[in-house]
Each structure stands twice: as structure tokens, then as C-alpha cells.
Amino acid sequence: MSDPLFVPLLLLNPRQLGYIGGDHWAQKRVPLETFLLKCGAAKKDLLDNASDDLEAKCRHAFRILDNPRTDSVNFHKLSSYLKEIELQLEESTIERIAELVASSDEPDFTEEDLLEYIKTNLRMGQAMQNAAREEEEENGRKVG
């Protein structure tokens, strides 16, 4: 990059992004405010769309737990995270949680394991709500 004209325009004009010089780069300047507003809007749309997406939420949760990134969460990572958020649980409880989420005999779990665990529990919760509603309706018919 020995071309002195190939200098980011931001260094020369803090209100625009782009490059000075000839060719097509001269036409590619964008006001900084426009750029930031579009980036902010895109991020907001992404977060709004993800708020309804169970898989996106699960991926996000897994990435928080999987630190450093090894594509699996073990007892130590889960325990560290829970301590970080000041949720005090006994070690045996944390081990049991990891075992329940894991799909194998090992207590480590993957992103897919976590997603499947959450989906299964949501289905079970929905089934329990349906059963309770049916029981209430049945009791209402007996009284009336």
C-alpha cells in the first residue's frame, strides 16, 4: 500500500467513511452517521428476529457457557458460570445438571445436547399444562 491516496477517508474527514483517490473508490463514500444508523438497525433487526427463535437463544446461551470455546461444556465451565452469576449450587447438583443435558454417558454436553434438552423440557411443560387444563375442565363439568 505505497499509494499515498489509499488512505482511509476517516482519517481526513471523521464524518465520512471511504477512501480518497480516483477510480470507483471515490464514489464509495458513506456518511459516518448513516453507516452507524444502518448498522444499529441491522443489529436490532437481528436481535428482534432472534428473540423468537429458540435455536438462536440456545446457541447464544451455549456460547456464554462454552468459555473458552471447545464446543462442549463440562462441570467446570458450568460451575464457573454459575458462580459468576452468583448462583450458588452444590457441586453434586451442577454435576447432575450437566449429566441431564448431555446425550452421552460423559457429563460434557454440546450445543445440540442443550437444544434437545430445552426442546424436550418445553414439550413436557406444554403437556403438563394441557393435562392440568383438561383436569380443570373435567372438574368443572362434575361440579356443574
Least Cα distance to 62 among 109, 19, 125, 13 occurs for: 109
Band of residue 93 on the pLDDT scale cut at 50, 70, 90: very high
Percent of the chain predicted with pLDDT > 90: 32
All domains in the chain, ordered by first residue: 9-51 (no CATH), 54-143 (1.10.238.10)
Q: Are 111 and 59 in contact (CB under 8 A)?
A: yes
For residue range 40-79, list pLDDT tens digits in order.
Answer: 888 777 767 655 678 888 888 999 999 889 999 999 999 9
CA 129-111-79 angle, to 5 degrees, is 85
| Cβ–Cβ under 8 Å, residues 139 and 101 | no
Model confidence, pTM: 0.57
Helices (H), 52-84: 54-65, 75-84
